[in-house]
Structure 1
């Protein structure tokens, strides 16, 4: 019994002698104070209970972290011990925030320094749990503690990264209101970056639609994959979108997709397949590695997935090299691309150095990769603009050379073509004119008139328009030939046709059916066509042709028929011809409507 008491006292003395000093906290904590890196314990199997961890702490097995901030890629879990001392003289509530986003689970335990190390759990946080279960709504893990005035309290925190991962055994201490303000500022900054990338994606998509250039389309998709990737990696997807049933693998999946689309865009933009085939094989290997990363993530092979991510980061500079090679080949915009991609590489290298514990964690090193991605997207968009300008200049120069060559050789060809074309046009026009025109009067010949009449009749039936046909016959035309001669008869036909045609509209169809018989098709109803016929009758009476035998004057008879429903052209012609026959029987020099027309009227 006595020996046990002595052993306990010795352990307590050792704990006091080697323990890190308590962290003094007040009501104004603004995240400047951090915990955890001076007393940590690796738990490779992630099997220790809090009491076992406390016992190891009592035995002095907790040691200071020997890196700048991260444990590096380690399996299992990491335990951290620290003490808080409330020096404010009043009860104090604090938010304890984990500094990174990559952690899978966090378990926090507390114990007053006076109770001999009996720890009770104060928080159990997990990426797999619904977001609403978090005690503090934050994209990173945060738990709250409350300290009485002048109270000292010890904490043991277990950081778990599933199979293997990077752990930053450090937490920032905040007054709740200041944490909220800082989180709002961080979120606003990140959303500004995402908004800028989204705007660039939209601009590129519109440019892709306008130019049909797949470079713009691939850039637009790449930009969207960037947004999704960083939104997920930084914890906002869990906070705002997938609040239930979230899984840590989403970070790796979105990261892999971003890498795939980034390489696809780079291959298209730099045209590595055509100009740098050896480097193109490297890019294809990077795509295969990203696919392998996806497969490992799907099958929960976390260690292999993280190793694949590390390999991807190491291979990223190959794209910069491809850009430099393309620049040396003469593509000036590839230099801007290489610089922009170098910024991304620096961001990825910075993240790798921070993850490996070679550089410390800070606001700058934490957000530098995302900011570098944003700047990279701006640089690449600028390079694309320069490329479009270069291609336009090349196109304009090529067109100028082509036009100059074409101008120098086309004059003779144009003369020959023009001469031949004019001959063909004249021959064509003459043939068409002869085919559709009566050679004596210039009116439609019978065939042409019937073709036009059929077209007008079909249109009138389809649109429900009125249509009328007027048949003309020059009275006593044989007597004109006998008294004045056939040449005066021909002149009478010409004067008759030109006089009637000059009184018509462009839409009316005027034709000679044969001999002294003519026909007129016009868009008028029965009343309008009768008025037109009487007006033309008066016009014909006014024709006077001087000759050696005296002035030649003559009259005409007109038969009128209006189109009935579903009537064809032959029927309409027959009805108008019947009306003309009646006009001749009534003494000529008059207008007669077809009887069917008169009945309808």
Structure 2
């Protein structure tokens, strides 16, 4: 080993050592003037010293990143303690994307390089010499001496390496780490509050996009906490693996794309562009699977593809904005800010721009700004939905009022129809369907009332019973149609000769009754007048004109008697009219009609019908 040290080229040994003192606050770095790439990743310290002796170490081109390379990188640098007392320092690796770090040092009084630390991501966090989310190498420089260092940076398989370390005093690094942690706590806390608010709004409104945004926000916190090393530092201190970073990143990407589809409603409004988001979801699934199976090369390709597809969400949002969605424009701004942070990170990883704390935390910061901006877009959407809901409610109330008026009109019309139907039903129940006059039931009810009213007013009442003479022969000789017409003509002839206060009805068949409030002489006169009117009826038939007559029986009362009693008396008088030759008016006589009633009763008992 000593021989190898003696063979190190003078150009390397003569490099200017970095001057350090008690005020180091991370502004100085170990430098990238002497970097050696070991593609196999299997080189030992002796191999690195041999490469250093052969002049294989050379300055790293670019802004500090090796780019996506396999294997490991070695860095050689020197630190000179300008103080005359021992100087404790912390050398902090500048990034989190490192699987293993080994550091070796040789002081002026040492013959060989001695191992300072061998740090690995998969080892328990408690074994680290410094409690920090990134790799930190504690060293102590003797007073006024220069110490040489060889540091190995290993990403395994393939990865991005930044072979440089910031130089701190222990107190300065501790304060810086506390500040970083506070800033991230603020960012994560803000995202958590936004996520919680989205959850509450989602529960209140039932909008699935708010639930998706809640899950997306939580996934961001988990992903960035894992990627930046805080999950390993505070949560999973044992058996941590790089695949956890890829897995949480994949879940965050998947949740973000799902939210994009729901918020922008791409399936409904931009179905063709929606296939791009579906492709992004599939790619996120591949990234998750590769992380679970620990396929680092596949995971890196999938992450690169995800970054290339990310701008599609902005394009889709702009399309939705052109379609009239104002919240989509705000969404496009927020997503573009996230893209800016991720794009700058990509430039840093590729070595286009220098690595520093600002661009190191730019991606999580842009994620926070994206969450705030998109939350504003969600607020616009919520306001639009609320306005639409109010407008829908107003339209519903207008429609309800119109329906109420319409319903009231329909109910009123239906009520009128029912009232008319009721009146019609009552009329049909009270009216003879053939002649249009009262039927038997209606006549009896109205006649009873008329008799009582006449009695109260001390007026006489007379009941006229009609029977069309030889009506059966009309039906037999000319048919029932002529018979029906005879009944209608008969009713019409009577109705034209009586008053509105008179009660006229059909009792059945060819029998009719008329109740009038007239004295005996007047009622007999009325009966004769009606008989003459009936005799004047002429019915045209195919066989010639048909005429007919009517027999009339009359009964009178000055007392409160029942209509049935008057009908019996008038019926007896009608019977006598028929017996005496028909087509005549016969007045009820108590003695003669009593004998007739007795004779009829005897005949009925003997089974003999009257002629």
Q: Do they superpose with TM above 0.5?
A: yes
Contact 2:68 2:159 in 1 (8 A): yes
Who wins on radius of gyration, i.e. which is larger? 2
1:175 aligns with 2:169: yes
- Residue 100 of structure 1 aligns to a residue in which SS? coil
**For residues 23-71 of structure 1, what are the alpha-carbon distances to aligned partners after superposition, in whole Å with 9 as ceiling and x for unaligned?**
1111111000001411101111111111110121122211111010111
CA distance in 2, matches of 1:201, 1:399: 29
Q: CA deviation at 1:14?
A: 4.1
Residue in structure 1 matched with residue 10 of structure 2 by the alignment: 13
Shift in alpha-carbon separation, 1:11–1:153, aligned structure 2, 3 A: closer
User: Which of 347, 353, 358 lines up with 1:353 in the alignment?
Assistant: 347
Residue in structure 2 matched with residue 149 of structure 1 by the alignment: 143
Q: Which runs of 5+ in 1 are unaligned?
A: 425-601
CA distance in 1, matches of 2:148, 2:211: 55
CA distance in 2, matches of 1:91, 1:33: 19
Contact 1:15 1:59 in 2 (8 A): no
User: Which of 299, 302, 314 lines up with 2:308 in the alignment?
Assistant: 314
**For residues 64-83 of structure 1, what are the alpha-carbon distances to aligned partners after superposition, in whole Å with 9 as ceiling and x for unaligned?**
11010111111010111110
Q: CA deviation at 1:382?
A: 0.7
Contact 1:14 1:58 in 2 (8 A): no
Contact 2:133 2:230 in 1 (8 A): yes
Residue in structure 1 matched with residue 96 of structure 2 by the alignment: 101
Shift in alpha-carbon separation, 1:127–1:11, aligned structure 2, 3 A: closer
Q: Which runs of 5+ in 2 are unaligned?
A: 419-611
Residue in structure 2 matched with residue 389 of structure 1 by the alignment: 383
- Residue 370 of structure 1 aligns to a residue in which SS? helix
1:365 aligns with 2:359: yes
Contact 1:40 1:78 in 2 (8 A): yes
CA distance in 2, matches of 1:320, 1:12: 54
Shift in alpha-carbon separation, 1:10–1:104, aligned structure 2, 3 A: closer
CA distance in 2, matches of 1:56, 1:212: 65
CA distance in 1, matches of 2:250, 2:415: 64
Q: CA deviation at 1:15?
A: 3.1
CA distance in 1, matches of 2:376, 2:42: 52
Shift in alpha-carbon separation, 1:10–1:266, aligned structure 2, 3 A: closer
Q: CA deviation at 1:415?
A: 3.9
Contact 2:199 2:214 in 1 (8 A): yes
1:230 aligns with 2:227: no
CA distance in 1, matches of 2:148, 2:223: 37
**For residues 283-307 of structure 1, what are the alpha-carbon distances to aligned partners after superposition, in whole Å with 9 as ceiling and x for unaligned?**
1111111111112122221111011
- Residue 361 of structure 2 aligns to a residue in which SS? helix
User: Which of 270, 277, 284 lines up with 2:271 in the alignment?
Assistant: 277
Contact 2:334 2:374 in 1 (8 A): yes
Contact 1:22 1:83 in 2 (8 A): yes
Q: State the TM-score, normalizing by the size of structure 2.
A: 0.66
CA distance in 1, matches of 2:289, 2:406: 68
Q: CA deviation at 1:115?
A: 4.5
Q: CA deviation at 1:139?
A: 0.4
Structure 1 segment 131-530 matched on structure 2, within 5 A: 131-408=125-402, 410-417=404-411
CA distance in 1, matches of 2:286, 2:311: 20
Contact 2:5 2:53 in 1 (8 A): no
CA distance in 2, matches of 1:10, 1:111: 15
Q: CA deviation at 1:395?
A: 2.8
- Residue 299 of structure 2 aligns to a residue in which SS? helix
Contact 1:14 1:59 in 2 (8 A): no
Q: CA deviation at 1:184?
A: 0.3
CA RMSD in angstroms comes to: 2.1
**How many equivalent residue pairs?**
417
CA distance in 2, matches of 1:48, 1:249: 25
Residue in structure 1 matched with residue 27 of structure 2 by the alignment: 32
Contact 2:5 2:49 in 1 (8 A): no
Residue in structure 2 matched with residue 22 of structure 1 by the alignment: 17
CA distance in 1, matches of 2:245, 2:210: 26
**For residues 486-537 of structure 1, what are the alpha-carbon distances to aligned partners after superposition, in whole Å with 9 as ceiling and x for unaligned?**
xxxxxxxxxxxxxxxxxxxxxxxxxxxxxxxxxxxxxxxxxxxxxxxxxxxx
1:54 aligns with 2:49: yes
1:111 aligns with 2:76: no
